[in-house]
Amino acid sequence: SCNIITTMLPQRLVLLRHAFSQKNLEDRHGGEGSSLTSQAFKDLDRVVSRCRDSSISIERVVCSPRRQCMETAEYLAKRLIAVSECLEDLRPLHLGVLDGLSRDEAAALFPHEAELMETWRRGQIEIAQLIIPKAEPYNLFFNRGQSFLSSVLERGSDTMIVGTRSILILLLSILLGRTVECGGGYKEIPLSNCCFFVFEFRGTGFVFEEKVSDKPTW
């Protein structure tokens, strides 16, 4: 559980990867993002139904500053009658020389780094071993995630967080007590579009609510 301390009343966090977008069709990672596909909105309607069926009442929907996340958040906020907000602290990890490239492009232009990324995606190395030129320093990325979670606690409202894969892995890793140092356990977490994870703050940390969440593979 997350080690952030607060005196606020218990609250829920729903972590959601954005709905299916054009960049997913292109197998493109990082970059500036893209619009959602038509199928995405059917998936988002199912997310709304899950919230209602699980009696999850969302007050705020916050998202990464990428088009696929903003479109996902805006749609869900309207359906859930919640406030929508795009936050710079939730910007994705910058992947350096691989940022915005498809798998095929990365393999052609930067074969060594692309193969290292594939090793990470298979869960065979931790993030400290994923060395990509010009990438955002992982300790700064991790600190940004901790700062964001602290700010959420200060607001005290039930919040849905719509992010890219890197943002969801970041927040889940912090909530699970992992760190970016060697041996800290920060690895790839397989996440499908519109995956749904719920945590509730109890006492001194967040506890994973297994019954209302997707089955985790972390």
Q: What is the mean pLDDT of residues 136-165?
A: 93
Q: Is the pLDDT at 142 greater than 90, yes or no?
A: yes
Report pLDDT digits (tens) over 118-141.
999 999 999 999 999 999 999 999
Q: What is the pTM for the complete model shown? A: 0.92
Q: How far apart are CA 175 and CA 2, in angstroms?
A: 4
Q: How far apart are CA 16 and CA 116, in angstroms?
A: 26
Q: What is the pLDDT of the chain when averaged over all its residues?
A: 93
- Map residue 159 onto helix, strand or coil: strand
140 CB contacts (<8 Å, ≥6 apart)?
none
pLDDT band at 205; cut points 50, 70, 90: confident
Question: Can you give the pLDDT at residue 166?
Answer: 97
Q: How far apart are CA 19 and CA 88, in angstroms?
A: 19
Half-sphere CA count of 113, side-chain side, radius 13 A: 18
Q: How far apart are CA 197 and CA 161, in angstroms?
A: 10
Question: Can you give the pLDDT at residue 53?
Answer: 94
Report pLDDT digits (tens) over 87-129.
999 999 999 999 999 999 999 999 999 999 999 999 999 999 9
Neighbour count for residue 38 (Cβ, 10 Å): 7
The full length of the chain comes to 218
193 CB contacts (<8 Å, ≥6 apart)?
17, 18, 19, 20, 21, 24, 40, 43
Question: Can you give the pLDDT at residue 10?
Answer: 53
Report pLDDT digits (tens) over 28-58.
999 999 999 999 999 999 999 999 999 999 9
